[in-house]
Amino acid sequence: MNANGFARLVRGDTPGPSMPDPVAVNSMFARIARRYDAANHLLSVGIDRWWRRRLVRIVRQASPAHILDLATGSGDVAFALARAMPASTAITGMDFCLPMLEQAELKKASHPEGTQNVVFRQGDALNLPMPDGSVEAVTISFGLRNLVDRHRALKEMHRVLARGGHVHVLEFSQPHRWFRPLYRFYLRHVMPRVAKAVTGDKAAYDYLCGSVETFPSHIELSTEIKEAGFISVSAVRMTFGIVALHTATK
């Protein structure tokens, strides 16, 4: 993917003074790919595993035959889905960052049991290389905030979903008011320093923390999902509201 193609993937909010340009963001994810999982588990104190379990539980209820996991990264959600779903379920993990996908392939090769139905592909979330109505579920975990045009991405998810299919968006959100001061202190002062110790790349987490702090609330994101054509939009807030799991139907 060339620089212009990647630029379309980066979030569309007005860049702040510390926000890297689109090409730099791609480079950032590539730099931290090998230590990304370790950093996530440490920075969330392991709660990220519980968030994923909540997502998988909801996806499983509808028994989709084909699942598209966008912004799959190193494949944690795709693998969790594979472990929970029947072996006949086709799971496509898609991401814009090739080094992240390489980490996913390494994990699949080291633990092949129960992952044969997972396939990884590089792709643009704003122009998905998949036919209309070709999947029954779309999941995206902590990736929507890195897209330049959330509306277009949500419309693409709507397009590739079969009628009656579901989209599941697991994303950071705005916490309960009483928790915000502590959370902001953590984002601005603790998280980047801990991430630097784990990954050696504080700048990457300065950007990621900024993207978390300015992301819409669960109410605002629910409105965006409705505007993309989805119905029956619901949101479950978790961990003092810092994360929300949105589910909607085509």
Residue-by-residue pLDDT tens, the chain, 250 positions? 333 333 333 333 333 333 334 455 556 555 665 656 665 666 676 788 999 999 999 999 999 999 999 999 899 999 999 999 999 999 999 998 888 899 999 999 988 788 899 999 999 899 999 999 999 999 999 989 888 889 999 999 999 999 999 999 999 999 999 999 999 998 888 877 877 776 676 666 666 777 888 899 999 999 999 999 999 999 999 999 999 999 999 9
CATH of the domain at 128: 3.40.50.150
The pTM assigned to this predicted structure is 0.85
Please tell me the distance from the alpha carbon of residue 226 to that of residue 98, in angstroms, as a whole number. Answer: 31
Query: How many domains does the chain contain in total?
Result: 1
Q: Which domain holds residue 16?
A: 3-249
Sheet holding 90-95, edge to edge: 118-122, 90-95, 66-70, 135-141, 161-172, 243-249, 231-238
